[in-house]
Amino acid sequence: MSRYAGSAKWGRQMLRLVSEAKAESLRLTAEEGFLLSRLDGHTPWRLVRDIGGMEPEEADLCVEGWLASGLLEVAGYASEMAESQSRSPSWRFEAVDSKAVPRTVDESLIDSTLDLSQEAQRRILEFECRLSLPPHELLETSPKANAREVKKAYFKLSREFHPDRYFRKKVDHFGPRLDRIFKKILEAHEALASIAEGDPGLRSPSGEAPGADSSPAIVEPLRSSKLEQLRRRMPLPIPDSIRGERRQKAVALARAAERSARLGDHQEAITSLRVAIRFDPSEIKHRRALVDLEAGQALAQAKEWMADSPSAFSGVPPEALGSVLAQLEKGLVQSQRDGSDYFYGAWLALKVGDWEKSQRFAELALEKDPSEARYHTALGRAHKAKGEIGLARRFFQQALKLNPNEGQAKKSLAGLKARGIHAAQEVCNG
């Protein structure tokens, strides 16, 4: 868990785009764009960071980067009360960020019949008001505290608030309160400890270089993705331990995907890869693998459609055609493939109505294998669609020369002739 999850104030901030911001000028990934679109100025960040297309820690990083670059501003803070009581969208606003002033304790909650001294009860109620403070303030340590000081503070508060300290005691409503307090203390400690862990100097005072064996992230490839750039600007990066773990998970998932793909379960493989990318968005290999798989899937779909109906693709909704084409296209851009892949691309593009693209794909297919009659037909169809009748005729004839039985070419040529006559008649009539 990142430090932010532990920091309630960070989670309560409600973000919005600065009015003069030009979001279009940024080069955002789909996930980043989605995240940005969710920042409406009245939903607390805590709720938004979990539902975006990326992992919460990455979302934190993005937002911190945008805040730093002046793209976002804090519109206000959701009230802690609203959040803990109902979590309904009716947020109360706090005009200014008041440093979470300890509210006065409601004396009516103090009950002298309990197995808890009145001072202890007051302390619990007071501490409960502090739960929204950032981790180090909650633990009553300085922001620069080292791992040992953090642990000391955590132990000290645990000794005071751990539910086991009140085992079988009559504590009434203080029971759930203690539970809540201890969980918050635990979260704060976890958040601070994971930061301290990233700083090896804090953990091992004995000198010699530690971590070289345990931290695979020391040697990073030179490639610097957007995420990496963001990360470099961040004062507090995601701890290596978390990153390493997620990277490993991603690798395991990618391996599972490979296995599924080999067994023919492409849908499963695609799902695994998508999850892998969520775990390690900076790894190009997973993204590439996904694009390849999706392209393969798209190709299979296109083939199925073509086999299904002799009139090729009729009855397939245009959106479906478009999305299949987009997937195939991505794969074709990414890696070299054989002629028939481009051929299917050309057909799909034609059916979608993108004739230029159709022509380009057909040409690429022909480049791969000029002796394939079907490719000539496809190119002819593209030209025909563009109204370049002469060119179209040439390619259809070429196709028929290569394969006299090429039905599509025959039909298209016949169609052309009919249309030619029709056009001629019109001219006459005119």
Partner 1 sequence: MGRVIGIDLGTTNSCIAIVEDGQPIVIPNSGGYKTMPSMFGISQDGKRLVGHLAKRQAITNAQNTVYAAKRLIGRRFDSTEVQRSIELCPYEIVQGPHEDARIELAEKTFTCPELAGITLREMKRIAEEYLGEPVHEAVITCPAYFNDAQRQGTKDAGKIAGLEVLRIINEPTAAALAYGMARPGDQRIAVYDLGGGTFDVSILEISEGVIEVLATAGNTFLGGEDFDRRIVAHIVKGFEEAEGIDLRSDTMALQRLKDAAEKAKCDLSMREETEINLPFIASDPEGPRHLNFELDRVMLERLVDDIVQGTLKSVEQCVQDAGLRPSDVDQVVMVGGQSRMPLVQSAVSDYFGKRPHKGVNPDEVVALGAAVQGAALVEEGQDVLLLDVTPLSLGISTYGGHFARLIDRNTTVPVTKAHIFTTTRDDQSAVKIRVFQGESDLATENDLLGEFVLAGIRPARKGEPEVEVSFDIDSNGIVSVSARDLATGQEQSITVSSTSTLSDSEIDQMAADQQNYEVAFKG
| Closer by beta carbon to partner 1, 233 or else 259 | 259
Q: Which tokens go with 215?
A: 């931290």
Angle at 282 between CA 281 and CA 285, to 5 degrees: 95
Q: How far is the CB of 210 from partner 1 (least distance, A)?
A: 7
Q: How far is 342 from 331, CA to CA, in rounded Å?
A: 10
DSSP output for 90-135: -PPEESS----PPPPP-GGG--TTSSS-HHHHHHHHHHHHTTTS-H
Q: How far is the CB of 176 from partner 1 (least distance, A)?
A: 10
369 contacts 339 by C-beta, under 8 angstroms: yes
Q: How far is the CB of 47 from partner 1 (least distance, A)?
A: 9
Contact positions vs partner 1 (CB under 8 A): 50-51, 148, 151-152, 155, 158-159, 162-165, 167-168, 179, 182-183, 186, 197, 203-204, 206, 210, 214, 241, 249, 252-253, 256, 260, 268, 271-272, 275
Q: How far is the CB of 189 from partner 1 (least distance, A)?
A: 9
| Closer by beta carbon to partner 1, 75 or else 275 | 275
Q: How far is 4 from 135, CA to CA, in rounded Å?
A: 9
| Closer by beta carbon to partner 1, 41 or else 89 | 89
| C-alpha dist (Å) from residue 363 to 112, 313, 366, 380, 385 | 88, 21, 5, 10, 15
| Closer by beta carbon to partner 1, 38 or else 287 | 38
Bridge partners of 13, per DSSP, are: 77
369 closest CA partner among 342, 396, 347 = 342
Q: How far is 319 from 133, CA to CA, in rounded Å?
A: 49
| Closer by beta carbon to partner 1, 163 or else 237 | 163
| Closer by beta carbon to partner 1, 89 or else 420 | 89
| Closer by beta carbon to partner 1, 256 or else 391 | 256
Q: How far is 316 from 322, CA to CA, in rounded Å?
A: 10
36 contacts 12 by C-beta, under 8 angstroms: no
Q: How far is the CB of 60 from partner 1 (least distance, A)?
A: 15
